[in-house]
Amino acid sequence: MILRDSTLEERMSWHAEQGFTVGIGGGSIAGLCNAIALRKIGATVRIYERVPGSMLARGAGIVVQSELTRLLAENGAGPLPRTSCRGRRYLDYDGGDGVLEEGPQEFTSWEAVHAALRAAVPDECYHAGSEVTAVTQKASKVMATLVDGTVVESDLFLSADGSGSATRQTMLPDVVARYAGYVAWRGTLDESDVPREFLSFFDDRFTFSGARSGGHILAYFIPGRDGAVAAGSRRLNWVWYVHVSPTDLAGVLTDKNGLRHRSSIPRGAAPESAVATLQARASREIHPKMAALVSATPDPFLQTIVDVRVSKTLFGRVLLTGDAAFVVRPHTAGGTAKAAYEAAALAGALNSAGANIDVALSSAERQQLEYGSALYEYGLALGNRWLRERRAD
């Protein structure tokens, strides 16, 4: 044990002594996971995030997975506020109390994950409003050009720039984000706004309802905006997977100001008519209590479901990570866990290899491809089952 600890310290100091630098493009979940894991092994890390201000309005519920909690615990980050339930409830769209299944589960929110990770990264390492506009390499150095023209150099550059990754499009121009044929409408309701008579029904359960024309909606409690988890201060989070034909997609992605979005409609931007249509559809298609949740949510938002699979993530000293590499279906509840796993794998490989950086990067890529492919296939299988059910309806 003593030997292992001292070896670890020596290796940790190797990256610090050598002044090993890592630039990260993208300061969301994947960028931050990598930052905390790489700082722990002694690397000097700089994150460049395009968004200038707060990113807190982005997400909703996240199912807690062990990869994330392990990464947080091992790198001194957290605590992560969580809610929990003791099992699932499967509802029929016609009504009734459904079927109960035991099996505890924990939930958190995108904001809580982001806040826990961000708090573990010193401000001087995080550059908001710094879009990366180009990435070039010379020998073992990577040069990233920022939107203000500054060029920053590092020994390793991680592209954590999400599902529409510009780096991926440059490195792998044949890989396209393929629309899966459906979108996720999402919403969160402050607990105080949840119809009172439904509180105990949804409490302590991860609730699912099939929809009459196929697909399903799910709901679970998550921490409040400030991370509060006490009853009364949480939020009820729902996600409804809805089929939208490719020809109708452009209309669905147009916001209330007529602006066409690439892949999502942010909270508060959906046209009133789209929200009204969704609510009307809910009253016809899903369990009445779920429909009541949808109707009570003032500002539902929407994300298209896309598939991205890569056969390579490493290009010299540039590595794709998080959704910039694979985009897996949300049914896996695994996107955040994948980002955490990749960060731990990279830090572990670098830590073991010391000066053999390129060997470490190849090992990290292998682990990423293996984990990413398996999760991608699992997500496809879950999604295809969903679509089959829809066709059979």
Ligand X SMILES: Cc1cc2nc3c(=O)[nH]c(=O)nc-3n(C[C@H](O)[C@H](O)[C@H](O)COP(=O)(O)OP(=O)(O)OC[C@H]3O[C@@H](n4cnc5c(N)ncnc54)[C@H](O)[C@@H]3O)c2cc1C
Give the footprint of ligand X on this chain (CB under 6 A): 25-31, 48-51, 55, 62-63, 131-132, 160-163, 166, 184, 239, 303, 322-324, 330, 333-337, 339
Of 239 and 344, the one with the shorter C-beta distance to ligand X is 239
Q: Are 207 and 290 in contact (CB under 8 A)?
A: yes
Say how far apart CA 163 and CA 214 lie, in whole Å.
26
Of 347 and 353, the one with the shorter C-beta distance to ligand X is 347
Nearest distance in Å: CB 144, ligand X:
9
Residue closest to ligand X (Cβ): 335
Q: Are 372 and 310 in contact (CB under 8 A)?
A: yes
Say how far apart CA 282 and CA 217 lie, in whole Å.
10
Say how far apart CA 326 and CA 328 lie, in whole Å.
6
Of 29 and 310, the one with the shorter C-beta distance to ligand X is 29
Helix (H, G, I), strand (E, B) or coil at 185: strand
Say how far apart CA 206 and CA 86 lie, in whole Å.
8
In order of 167, 195, 339, 353, the CA distances from 360 in angstroms are 21, 53, 18, 6
Instruction: Report angle CA 6, 11, 17 to the nearest 5 degrees.
Output: 120
Nearest distance in Å: CB 378, ligand X:
13
Nearest distance in Å: CB 357, ligand X:
23
Say how far apart CA 275 and CA 297 lie, in whole Å.
9
Query: What DSSP designation does 304 have?
Result: E
Nearest distance in Å: CB 384, ligand X:
17
Q: What is the DSSP string of 254-298?
A: B-TTSPBPSSEE-TT-S-HHHHHHHHHHHHHHS-HHHHHHHHH-S
Nearest distance in Å: CB 323, ligand X:
4
Of 107 and 202, the one with the shorter C-beta distance to ligand X is 107
Say how far apart CA 12 and CA 15 lie, in whole Å.
6
Of 324 and 349, the one with the shorter C-beta distance to ligand X is 324
Nearest distance in Å: CB 159, ligand X:
8
Of 20 and 326, the one with the shorter C-beta distance to ligand X is 326
Residue in the structure block whose two tokens are 């954590």: 160
Nearest distance in Å: CB 331, ligand X:
9
Nearest distance in Å: CB 17, ligand X:
29
Q: How many CB atoms lie within 10 A of CB 80?
A: 21
Residue in the structure block whose two tokens are 């997609």: 249
